């Protein structure tokens, strides 16, 4: 390993390689062990950095290669469905990737600048804080969270306790331990191997614990996937054709307890006089099914539009989306960017966010925790439905991202939300991947992409609350803050001792 101490070219090559490997630890590849290997290599290179500037550079290269492969699908929606020139779409995508790359870069800089003599615990704490911050800053982008890559590994058993970010912290602890072992010596070996043994032992123990309990009540549910191509979805008169597709697919399943159509399956504005709503209500008169669909709602008073979910039972319930997608559903920094957007004729939706953060709809059959599309990427958003929700529902339209990694990554994120909260998660999408996920994050049924498809399954309602649902990330935020505080004090003390 002396080669890393001498030649920056080798460092750049290996950090580039480690960043490129990270996306392959996520779906659709699921080589979850690559996250541990990649972070181990990155952490090792940071321990050999000669300066904070070098660590920043290595972190930035790591981030750019990681996000450059992992989320480059963003240009598909910007170009094909946003109507923006391909070169400009790629430019916008890589500007975002350049910004996201700052998180591992800053993590590396701070680690070398302030924690050079105490990297063993400081690196996992710093990575946790940086990933958590990435999920908050500028409304957040919690895609490719390291913890999510572990949905098929034994480490997923930590998720009901400390959530997605907590699993990230555990992966970083293992990576840090591997770096200790590589350093050589009996003491370093023991310091490295003991925590790894404890982590996997605890994970086996936690796998035996049922954090939530079955209510011994099942629902027969049907998820409808209409597979309406995004390029024609909003064309004039397409709404009638789309409705017929969904209606025909639904006809055999009106005896279900719950029927779910995806995001904006009804593409006309919601109104009690809406012809499609009337038709659905006529079908419901012969059925006891609860009906859920994505729809656009407009406030008649202020004309604000909302990306919404409509639930029809014995009355109409509405959930308006709270966490909107920047530049997709609304324009952030409108005063600054409006003229730029208008000059380039960039089409941006103008949705308003919900005035309420309540996401539960309570019916006689069950209490439903509702979310729309991107909202399920935020663990803090979904846990807001707890402990009242018996089951979680998400409607989405991943047609925006074509045949890319994105729909597979999004499904994996939904699996993490199911595990964190100990609830079944029902996912209805326009072009796939629709799915039924149980409370352990296992996929019970799923659809192929870009095909008209129906899923009919019996699902179990659950009650109770996981530690994560109750406390969220509070414990780990405090723990990592304390690790960094005492790590900084120790590092300064050791530095002064060396100077003397």
H runs (alpha helix) in 115-158: 119-134
149 close to 35: Cβ distance less than 8 angstroms: yes
**SS3 of residue 32 by DSSP:** coil
466 close to 421: Cβ distance less than 8 angstroms: yes
Which residue's entry shows tokens 């406030």?
299
CA distances from 287 to 69, 262, 361 (A): 47, 20, 20
233 is catalytic: no
373 is catalytic: yes
379 close to 417: Cβ distance less than 8 angstroms: yes
The catalytic residue among 11, 54, 131, 263 is 263
321 is catalytic: yes
H runs (alpha helix) in 393-473: 406-421, 467-471
285 close to 259: Cβ distance less than 8 angstroms: no
Copy the structure tokens of residue 391: 């089951």
**SS3 of residue 289 by DSSP:** coil
- Say how many Å lie between the first and final Cα of the chain, rounded: 31
26 close to 70: Cβ distance less than 8 angstroms: yes
Enumerate residues 6+ apart whose C-beta is below 8 A from 149: 22, 25, 26, 32, 34, 35, 171, 412
- Three-point CA angle 180, 182, 188, nearest 5°: 40
Name the strand (E) or helix (H) holding 459.
strand 453-463
Copy the structure tokens of residue 283: 């079908």
Q: What is the spatial distance between Cα 390 and Cα 210, in angstroms, rounded to a whole number?
A: 15
Q: What is the spatial distance between Cα 77 and Cα 431, in angstroms, rounded to a whole number?
A: 14
Q: What is the spatial distance between Cα 211 and Cα 465, in angstroms, rounded to a whole number?
A: 7
Name the strand (E) or helix (H) holding 483.
helix 474-499
Give CA 22 to chain center in angstroms: 16
The catalytic residue among 373, 420, 457, 480 is 373
The catalytic residue among 11, 180, 233, 321 is 321
Kindly write down the DSSP assignment for every residue of 381-400, as one continuous string. Answer: HHGGGTTT-SEEEEEE-GGG
Catalytic positions? 263, 321, 373
């Amino acid at each position: 390993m002396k080669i890393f101490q001498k030649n920056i070219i080798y460092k750049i090559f290996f950090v580039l390689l480690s960043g490129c490997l990270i996306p392959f630890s996520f779906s659709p590849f699921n080589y979850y062990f690559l996250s541990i290997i990649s972070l181990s290599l990155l952490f090792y290179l940071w321990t050999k950095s000669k300066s904070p500037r070098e660590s920043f550079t290595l972190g930035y290269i790591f981030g750019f290669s990681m996000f450059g492969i992992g989320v480059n699908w963003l240009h598909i929606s910007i170009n094909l469905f946003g109507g923006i020139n391909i070169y400009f779409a790629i430019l916008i995508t890589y500007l975002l990737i350049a910004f996201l790359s700052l998180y591992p870069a800053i993590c590396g800089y701070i680690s070398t600048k302030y924690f050079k003599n105490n990297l063993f615990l400081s690196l996992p704490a710093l990575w946790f804080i940086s990933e958590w911050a990435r999920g908050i800053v500028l409304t957040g982008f919690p895609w490719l969270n390291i913890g999510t890559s572990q949905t098929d590994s034994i480490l997923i058993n930590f998720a009901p306790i400390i959530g997605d970010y907590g699993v990230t912290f555990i992966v970083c602890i293992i990576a840090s331990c591997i770096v200790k072992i590589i350093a050589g010596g009996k003491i370093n070996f023991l310091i490295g191997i003991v925590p790894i043994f404890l982590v996997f032992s605890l994970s086996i123990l936690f796998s035996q614990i049922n954090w939530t309990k079955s209510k011994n009540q099942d629902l027969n549910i049907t998820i409808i996937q209409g597979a309406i191509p995004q390029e024609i979805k909003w064309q004039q008169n397409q709404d009638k054709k789309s409705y017929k597709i969904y209606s025909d697919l639904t006809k055999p399943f009106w005896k279900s307890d719950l029927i779910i159509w995806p995001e904006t399956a009804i593409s006309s504005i919601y109104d009690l006089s809406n012809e499609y709503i009337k038709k659905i209500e006529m079908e419901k008169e012969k059925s006891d099914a609860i009906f859920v669909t994505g729809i656009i709602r407009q406030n008649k008073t202020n004309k604000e539009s909302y990306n919404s979910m409509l639930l029809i039972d014995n009355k109409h319930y509405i959930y308006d989306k709270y966490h909107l997608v920047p530049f997709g559903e609304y324009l952030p920094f409108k005063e600054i960017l409006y003229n730029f957007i208008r000059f380039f004729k960039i089409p941006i939706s103008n949705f308003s966010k919900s005035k309420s953060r309540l996401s539960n709809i309570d019916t006689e059959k069950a209490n439903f925790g509702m979310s729309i599309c991107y909202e399920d990427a935020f663990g803090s958003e979904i846990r807001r439905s707890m402990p009242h929700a018996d089951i979680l529902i998400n409607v989405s339209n991943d047609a925006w991202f074509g045949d890319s990694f994105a729909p597979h990554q999004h499904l994996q994120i939904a699996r993490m939300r199911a595990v964190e909260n100990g609830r079944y998660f029902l996912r209805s999408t326009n072009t796939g991947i629709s799915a039924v996920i149980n409370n352990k994050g296992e996929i019970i049924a799923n659809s192929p992409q870009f095909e008209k498809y129906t899923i009919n399954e019996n699902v179990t309602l659950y009650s109770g609350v996981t530690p994560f649902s109750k406390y969220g990330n509070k414990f780990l935020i405090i723990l990592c803050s304390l690790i960094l505080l005492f790590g900084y004090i120790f590092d300064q003390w050791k530095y002064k001792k060396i100077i003397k």
